[in-house]
Structure 1
Amino acid sequence: MEKGQLLYEGKAKRIYATDEENIVWVEYKDDATAFNGEKKAQISGKGRLNNQITTLLFEKLAQAGIENHFVEKLSETEQLVKKVKIIPLEVVVRNITAGSLAKRLGKEEGIELKNAIVEFYYKNDELGDPLVNNDHISTLEIATEAELQKIKQIALKVNDILAPFFSEKMLD
């Protein structure tokens, strides 16, 4: 497989075309950003770690029957993935109160939630990736109600698989 033309460069990775139409080449970078790209730095080895972590997690999900875009790890910082249409939503599943959720609800951090909470954030740097609900998503024509329900169902299934794994590694 040949690495082709650069298609996209973001904060954490570069994406290249390949000689296969439905496969792209991902190269993870050592660049680190915070505050929606306002603060930037280089962290040696970050690209390698991102590649190792994504490989591990996507392989684990595939073994559990969760279809995903991962194809194979190529090198320390590179992998092949299926070409996908990006939905500009960040899906966050919360099992405990932390960060912005604790602040919004006026709750102490670290409280285990009775049920996982699924939140959607509109991926838009200019707007600061705002929290959005189903009506916002529909108005912005990002996804239909049926697509949102499918996204939520998959997110909760992923949570059921990864939450115990992270807990085992003391990352909860």
Structure 2
Amino acid sequence: MKRTLLYEGKAKQVFETGEEGVLLHRYKDEATAFNARKRGSWAGKGRANASISAAVFAYLERRGIPTHFIEQVDEVTLKTRRLRMLPVEIIVRNLAAGSLARLLGYEEGRPLKAPVVELCYKNDALGDPMLNWYHFRELGLTDEELRACEEFGLRVNEALRPFFEERGMVLVDFKIEVGRDAGGSLVLADEISPDTCRLWDKETGQRLDKDRFRRDLGGVEEAYEEVLRRVTGEGVS
């Protein structure tokens, strides 16, 4: 059945389903970094990210954190609830890495005194800049929404840190997106995967995330498959 494509982003396509309030998110094998200035792809990326996201969404739902996830319909596609998205990316950081390490002059891997929350304006053309509350108020968001975004990010972090630790990984940082459901409640959307999380092996410190692609470290496909195996028990047959 031919579906109407609503949106195509860097890592996913979103389709209508014909069912009221329900969408399909199809994960792609393509990858981008540095605001799409670097591009690539590898086999199995979409499958890994879809299955990892599905497993993590289901776990978060069991922990009382609402998500847009309904079910995984095939190896690269999730069925989700339609949301009214907020133009905000919520980043939560537990260790210094990437842009935060550069911003604070910290060595990568330095533990932070407490989780750091950053709010970024979701706008590809502008490079998703980090803004403060004054900027977001100018863009029309309320203090209630901004506070809710920060609190939501911390709730997700509190749930995900032990989830990944039990699977031999350190959750260094992650990015999430949120939207409002039909009742106005804040709901987790987008994905939870090595594309959106920095995950380091707890014993070796090996990077098991998109930094392997960003930094030309090699072993990208193997890293994603390893996260898939640890989270779901699946892997390459």
Per the alignment, residue 99 of structure 1 pairs with 98
Per the alignment, residue 147 of structure 1 pairs with 145
Identity of aligned residues (%): 45
1:159 to 157, 160, 173: 157
Structure 1 stretches of at least 4 aligned residues deviating more than 4 Å after TM superposition: none
Structural RMSD (CA): 1.4
* Structure with more relative contact order (C-alpha pairs < 8 Å, separation 6 or more): 2
Task: Write the distance in 1 (CA, Å) between the matches of 2:29 and 2:55.
Answer: 19
Task: Write the distance in 1 (CA, Å) between the matches of 2:94 and 2:165.
Answer: 11
Per the alignment, residue 66 of structure 1 pairs with 65
Query: How many residue pairs are counted as aligned between the two chains?
Result: 170
One-letter amino acid of the structure 2 residue matched with residue 148 of structure 1: L
Per the alignment, residue 134 of structure 2 pairs with 135
Task: Write the distance in 2 (CA, Å) between the matches of 1:140 and 1:11.
Answer: 24
Per the alignment, residue 35 of structure 2 pairs with 36
Task: Write the distance in 1 (CA, Å) between the matches of 2:122 and 2:167.
Answer: 29
* Deviation, structure 1 residue 115: 1.2
Per the alignment, residue 178 of structure 2 pairs with none
Unaligned runs of 5+ in 1: none
Task: Write the distance in 1 (CA, Å) between the matches of 2:37 and 2:104.
Answer: 27
Per the alignment, residue 126 of structure 1 pairs with 125
Unaligned runs of 5+ in 2: 171-237
Per the alignment, residue 84 of structure 1 pairs with 83
Task: Write the distance in 2 (CA, Å) between the matches of 1:89 and 1:171.
Answer: 27
Task: Write the distance in 2 (CA, Å) between the matches of 1:100 and 1:28.
Answer: 26
Structure 1 contact 3–16 (Cα < 8 Å) conserved? no
* Deviation, structure 1 residue 88: 1.9
Any idea what SS the aligned residue of 1:87 has? strand
Residues 84-117 of structure 1 deviation map (CA, whole Å, 9 limit, x = unaligned): 1122211111111111112111222212122111
Assess, with a 3 A threshold, how the Cα gap between structure 1 residues 115 and 79 changes in structure 2: closer, same or farther. same
Task: Write the distance in 2 (CA, Å) between the matches of 1:89 and 1:154.
Answer: 12
One-letter amino acid of the structure 2 residue matched with residue 107 of structure 1: Y
Task: Write the distance in 2 (CA, Å) between the matches of 1:34 and 1:117.
Answer: 22
* Deviation, structure 1 residue 72: 0.3
Task: Write the distance in 2 (CA, Å) between the matches of 1:80 and 1:3.
Answer: 16
Are 1:111 and 2:124 an aligned pair?
no
